[in-house]
Structure 1
């Protein structure tokens, strides 16, 4: 079927070329070596193509780098050690804190984010001069600024201060940056982009444009940025605005992630995939399934799992973090699979993105970036940080998430000690726990560990649990404040004369 589609697309391309050849202007074109943003972006259609290209960068990153650095570095997941296949040690090194500046995955992650930024810069630079309706222009610039802020937020949290590239690169001399901006300067740019995006973007789209960045997405990400900076009043102001835009918590946790329910009322922003088109499909379950599970987990008898499977494996610590009766556990993960010959095999795997295949090697699952549940938990955290109020609004928001999960509310005077919260620190711990299980495998845990100041202690303890379980180097998980940041890729250090992070 895939070959048939490819043949169809190839035939369609040939037809388009033949039709273009019939036009007398066919030969009156810029040479390919002279094609640039200045010569390409002439019409509203060109700008919209550029915006779609910026989303494509996000989609490519979402298939791998996004979760490797956002989830696998945390205590939520690890990897399934694969003795016969030792060609993916770069991935293992990310997980066990042995990564160095020549690790190709770090270089790829850096490149993917800056590639997305470059595409956004094209839109921001050229859209103002294109003749098009103001509403369409504002939307395009708003989408580009949201995506640029998203990429810089990834970079600053993983690398610290990074080069700020805010203009189009038109000549080789433009490729060299002014060096690493400070962390504060990067955050100032992110905030500026998100404020402008929130002002320009619509709150909702029609059915054909669902999934694009909205006003709510910009405000929610802005709130998360301020929360990361511990600017709780500003975070609360941004997040409060999201609550007035029509989002809601769905009654059923499982339905939030169903491909049949994409971009639902709880979704603020998610990375879009289209399973019916192989080039636009997702493939998360093929990477998250145990490598020895055959087709039991994926349901795809035509795809053999190997070294590309067995990643982002849920840890026992996470499994035990779920309270008895928590409905989210079975939706989010499975504790093993049943082999037709060997019986039950105790290798956990992520189930949240396992809704069956659409075609060989292709699934239709989107990847959530921000959900309304996350927004409510962030508001509760901001309220608590500005002053603990027994059984106040922060409790109401926390318990809205818990009740949906089938759990009892937590209160300040509860007779059950496990449900009792008596002070600000206990509420911090309750929010931290709730975020872990509510947002598991959505690339929030690592960033929560770092911004809460718990990363070194938690990851050191995690290492003590993991080292005896599989033959990994004895110096794994030596976590310090220095290696909470990734090293700058050595290629960038050499070519752009950047200072390296302490290691």
Structure 2
């Protein structure tokens, strides 16, 4: 298995920003903290700090991204566990009845800003370090990509948020200037991604494979432009990504196979390493029905019930055409819960198969998590062309995904703009299922309120014996934005989002 250097974030390397020290530093004047000003002295230390900045993405990939990117959408829900209510606040996020004091909100916010501060730390100091310009450009591009990645998540989930473009060095710098406007946040994101795309390489070799590339920066920039309804600008970036040379794989299952990481279709993946307990993924266990034991994971060492999170909805299952080969690769429908404690006893509980692969060890898998891949690019091109009025060309790109050999589906015929728009979003739903795009697609399409209210009504109808909090699945436009964590509202004097 190829190893990726930037994943090796030992306690020592991460703690360089947390107040620990090394033997070399202990031989100097006694200090308990290694500050940024005396850490960034050579390229090796810069690279170590760059590697550490990726850690926030790795951590959020294990929970935050899919809690707020899939479970808040009509793609997935949760398997209600009446024997363990310890993570009930995750359920409240999915049911649109969360409170500003709920832990998932504050954890998500803190991790995003930790990632931003780590990127800012490198950007603040890299200019003074002597190293080849090509390497300095690469590290700068990576940090601007990551900072944009975090702010793109923040602005879509919370709207205007504090804008920090320099690192926090002292306690008096922790207080922000308040919430920046949505326009200001997007201006910063676009500037960061534009610069990152000009500095990052198109590809890496060896241990550096998996880092952010020009293609990743331009793909995110295109999605930013689409979110801002700037289809011409989006198409310009997508054409540049198209020219890089990514390819659709003939096998849909192969895209997600841990033995085939960072393949020809992959543009950016969150990198995990199953052989290391600190760097492994856990999706197979998190996404299995909680009553399934080892039946779904096929891991005989499973000693406790799996998570029951990110469970496919009937809405998503019904979205697949009957001959779509992706359905059986993405969703398992072979588990029936017979646990007497389960309100759904005797019923089939679907689960995500896309990340269901043999574990490296108990509770530890080697699956990466896809963020951007070429199928997404082709569907965004189709969307841009359709919005420009070129339905024939749009359909050509849609059919590259829809009628690809891995789907078993017939090509779609030329149709009107509105119908084609719906088909493109449906194709995105099934092609990119469980890859954390659905919630954002619903919001930018303007359909989130109607779709989620209808989805909630069906969930209640399908699970009448499950308790539901008052107001659950009662979605209005205000609820498309998350509540700002109460601690941030209080300590930073931030205006709260209305609900």
TM score, norm. by length of structure 1:
0.91
Residues paired across the two proteins, number: 471
Between the aligned partners of 1:57 and 1:335, the Cα distance in structure 2 is 33
What is the DSSP-based 3-state SS (H/G/I as helix, E as strand, rest coil) of the residue aligned with 1:196? helix
- Aligned counterparts, 1:285-364, within 5 A: 285-306=284-305, 309-337=307-335, 346-364=348-366
Between the aligned partners of 1:132 and 1:340, the Cα distance in structure 2 is 62
What is the DSSP-based 3-state SS (H/G/I as helix, E as strand, rest coil) of the residue aligned with 1:149? helix
C-alpha displacement at 1:388, in angstroms? 3.9
Match of 1:444 in 2: 437
Between the aligned partners of 1:275 and 1:486, the Cα distance in structure 2 is 33
Match of 2:52 in 1: 53
C-alpha displacement at 1:474, in angstroms? 4.2
Between the aligned partners of 2:146 and 2:27, the Cα distance in structure 1 is 36
Q: Which runs of 5+ in 2 are unaligned?
A: 1-9, 12-21
Between the aligned partners of 1:80 and 1:344, the Cα distance in structure 2 is 14
Classify 1:339/1:501 alpha carbon distance in 2 versus 1 (closer, same or farther; 3 Å): closer
Between the aligned partners of 2:346 and 2:297, the Cα distance in structure 1 is 16
CA offset digits 1:169-200 (Å, max 9, x no partner): 11111111110000000000000000000000
Match of 2:14 in 1: none
Match of 1:500 in 2: 496
> Do 1:156 and 1:183's aligned partners in 2 also have CA atoms closer than 8 Å?
yes
Between the aligned partners of 1:135 and 1:30, the Cα distance in structure 2 is 36
> Do 1:296 and 1:338's aligned partners in 2 also have CA atoms closer than 8 Å?
no
C-alpha displacement at 1:32, in angstroms? 1.8
C-alpha displacement at 1:340, in angstroms? 10
- Aligned counterparts, 1:366-445, within 5 A: 366-389=368-391, 392-404=392-404, 405-412=407-414, 421=415, 423-445=416-438
Match of 2:116 in 1: 117
> Do 1:273 and 1:281's aligned partners in 2 also have CA atoms closer than 8 Å?
yes
What is the DSSP-based 3-state SS (H/G/I as helix, E as strand, rest coil) of the residue aligned with 1:362? coil
Match of 2:484 in 1: 488
Match of 2:17 in 1: none
- Aligned counterparts, 1:224-235, within 5 A: 224-235=223-234
What is the DSSP-based 3-state SS (H/G/I as helix, E as strand, rest coil) of the residue aligned with 1:270? strand
Q: Which runs of 5+ in 1 are unaligned?
A: 1-8, 11-19, 413-420
TM score, norm. by length of structure 2:
0.92
Match of 1:16 in 2: none
Between the aligned partners of 1:146 and 1:323, the Cα distance in structure 2 is 36
C-alpha displacement at 1:338, in angstroms? 6.1
CA offset digits 1:124-178 (Å, max 9, x no partner): 1111110111111110010000000000000000000000011011111111111
C-alpha displacement at 1:27, in angstroms? 1.9
C-alpha displacement at 1:339, in angstroms? 7.6
Deviates more, 1:139-148 or 1:329-338: 329-338
Between the aligned partners of 1:354 and 1:305, the Cα distance in structure 2 is 17
Between the aligned partners of 2:470 and 2:432, the Cα distance in structure 1 is 31
Question: Structure 1 runs of 4+ off > 3 angstroms?
Answer: 338-345
What is the DSSP-based 3-state SS (H/G/I as helix, E as strand, rest coil) of the residue aligned with 2:268? strand
C-alpha displacement at 1:302, in angstroms? 2.3
Between the aligned partners of 2:63 and 2:137, the Cα distance in structure 1 is 31
C-alpha displacement at 1:85, in angstroms? 1.2
- Aligned counterparts, 1:11-410, within 5 A: 27-29=27-29, 31-33=31-33, 35-306=34-305, 309-337=307-335, 346-389=348-391, 392-404=392-404, 405-410=407-412
Classify 1:341/1:39 alpha carbon distance in 2 versus 1 (closer, same or farther; 3 Å): closer
C-alpha displacement at 1:26, in angstroms? 5.0
> Do 2:291 and 2:339's aligned partners in 1 also have CA atoms closer than 8 Å?
no
Between the aligned partners of 2:488 and 2:452, the Cα distance in structure 1 is 28
C-alpha displacement at 1:345, in angstroms? 5.5
> Do 2:193 and 2:218's aligned partners in 1 also have CA atoms closer than 8 Å?
yes
Between the aligned partners of 2:36 and 2:113, the Cα distance in structure 1 is 17
Between the aligned partners of 1:406 and 1:32, the Cα distance in structure 2 is 62
Between the aligned partners of 1:302 and 1:166, the Cα distance in structure 2 is 46
CA RMSD of superposed structures (Å): 1.8
Between the aligned partners of 1:197 and 1:344, the Cα distance in structure 2 is 52
Deviates more, 1:196-205 or 1:337-346: 337-346
Match of 1:417 in 2: none
